[in-house]
Amino acid sequence: QEYTGIKLQVIEWSKEAQNVLGSIEELKDKHIYFIAATLRPETMYGQTNCFVGTGLTYGLYKINETDVFLCTYRAARNMAFQGFSSERGVVHQLAEIKGTALIGTKVKAPLSVYERVYILPMENVLATKGTGVVTSVPSDSPDDYTALQDLKKKPDYYKIDPSWAAFDPVPIIDTPAYGNLAAPTVCQQKKINSQKDRVQLAEAKEIVYKEGFYNGIMLVGDYKGKQVQEAKPLVKNLLVSTGQGFVYNEPEGLVMSRSG
């Protein structure tokens, strides 16, 4: 599985993260990035937030003299075999932190129309997939749309400040069947009410993915007017060539056997 790793730079830590990480000397003056794994680089214009799993633990890993990546240990280890560490296969962990402590951290999401977005909680983040960090595009991902709606409806329950979730989905891809906000449209049609509606969400994801990929037209950004299929590798190259992203492979068989 080939992912694009997206680098979301930390602008300001949440209070809790500041407490855990603030005194760590090796993190001072470093560029620290949440690393999200995506299969849809062309949708990055519509990022409204970034999700972490509340039950997951993350590490901060030294990549080189200036950069630190935040992701699961599993992902850091895979990356260490793909050139993201000074010594092949060796991870250099600087700190560890729980997903819940990261919520409310302010980051810069590459290409997003929003200047700054927040780290927010999602219930269904898989520890065994990607980096455990999931950047959120509610316009074109039913999972993201539903999780963000849940947060907007119940900020107290999810222990977030409402302002962190106060970002509207951005029309970034036009589709003949579901218009320019395909995920919200399909979620409404299927009457999906919460991120706990797993079965319907899986169906919605399949539908939205196919329609966007095969019939979608870019409405924004550097490849506005182009078909999604055509824009996808171009946006990926743009992210990589500007240092805002990188190509990351997940050895699927290996992942399955390790995660058990």
| Dist. CA 144–CA 190, nearest whole Å | 15
CA dist., res. 63 & res. 166, Å (int): 33
Q: Which residues of this protein are in contact with ligand ZZB, per CB under 6 A?
A: 37-40, 43, 124-126, 129-130, 132, 134-135, 137, 140-141, 205, 208-209
CB of 135 to ligand ZZB, least distance (A): 6
Of 27 and 171, CB closest to ligand ZZB: 171
- Cβ closest to ligand ZZB, residue 104 vs residue 216: 216
Beta carbon nearer to ligand ZZB, 51 or 158: 51
What is the spatial distance between Cα 259 and Cα 209, in angstroms, rounded to a whole number?
Answer: 26
Smallest gap, in angstroms, from Cβ of residue 49 to ligand ZZB? 12
Residue 3 in tokens = 């992912």
Q: Which is nearer to ligand ZZB, 30 or 145 (CB)?
A: 145
CB of 163 to ligand ZZB, least distance (A): 23
In angstroms, the Cα distances linking 254 to 1, 37, 227, 239, 251 are: 12, 17, 34, 27, 6
Q: Which amino acid is at 122?
A: M
CB of 152 to ligand ZZB, least distance (A): 19
The two three-digit tokens of residue 205, written as one number: 């994801």
Q: Are 93 and 73 in contact (CB under 8 A)?
A: yes
Q: Which residues pair with 247 in a beta bridge?
A: 4
Asked if 130 and 79 touch (Cβ cutoff 8 Å), the reply is no
User: CA dist 157 to 126, 133, 152, Å?
Assistant: 21, 21, 10
**Smaller CB separation from ligand ZZB, 27 or 220:** 220
The CB-of-240 to ligand ZZB minimum distance in angstroms stands at: 16
CB of 127 to ligand ZZB, least distance (A): 7
Closer residue to ligand ZZB (CB): 30 or 146: 146
What percent of the residues of the chain are helix, what percent strand, and what percent coil, each to the nearest 5? 35, 25, 40
